[in-house]
């Protein structure tokens, strides 16, 4: 089986300012989602906005600034607006590939 990797990128406007590739086996899907939230918080949010991303969704302080979106069947995860952070699964050549996590992963 070909090696697969998480490719995590950060984009601001039209520029990519971070591009990190991590082997699939050392990060679960849940850890990738948390990493995207962490990057989005660090790069673009105030402390108050970060708190709003973690409080109960029906509270007055709640916001959706740290919500992770799943797009497509491959999948692609994203978090943030500008900057935005994305994670996709790629092969050794950097081509996008399908990924089906193991149960509990």
pLDDT in tens, 19-61: 999 999 999 999 999 999 999 999 989 999 999 999 999 999 9
Residue 105 lies in a domain: no
Question: What is the distance between the terminal CA atoms of the chain, rounded to a whole angstrom?
Answer: 19
| Residue 9 resides in a domain | yes
pTM, rounded to two decimals: 0.89
What's the domain count of the chain? 1
Q: Which range of residues forms the domain containing residue 79?
A: 4-91
79 located within any domain: yes
Q: Is residue 98 part of a domain?
A: no
d(CA 51, CA 64): 11
Q: How many CB atoms lie within 10 A of CB 26?
A: 9
* Structural domain contains residue 100: no
Q: Could you tell me the strand order of the sheet in which 15-23 lies?
A: 15-23, 4-12, 84-91, 76-80, 68-71
Reply yes or no: is the peptide bond before residue 89 cis, omega within 30 of 0: no
Rounded average pLDDT over 89-99: 91
With respect to residue 13, please indicate whether it lies within any of the assigned structural domains.
yes
Report the phi/psi class of residue 89: left, alpha or beta, with left for phi > 0 and alpha for psi in -120 to 50: beta
Q: Is the pLDDT of residue 104 over 80?
A: no
């Amino acid at each position: 089986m070909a090696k697969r990797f998480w490719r995590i990128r950060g984009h601001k406007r039209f520029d990519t300012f971070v591009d990190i590739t991590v082997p699939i086996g050392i990060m679960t899907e849940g850890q990738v989602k948390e990493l995207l939230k962490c990057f989005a918080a660090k790069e673009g949010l105030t402390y108050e906005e970060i708190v709003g991303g973690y409080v109960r969704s029906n509270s007055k302080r709640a916001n959706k600034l740290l919500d992770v979106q799943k797009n497509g069947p491959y999948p692609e995860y994203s978090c943030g607006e500008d900057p935005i952070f994305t994670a996709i699964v790629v092969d050794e050549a950097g081509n996008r590939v399908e990924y089906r996590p193991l149960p509990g992963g």
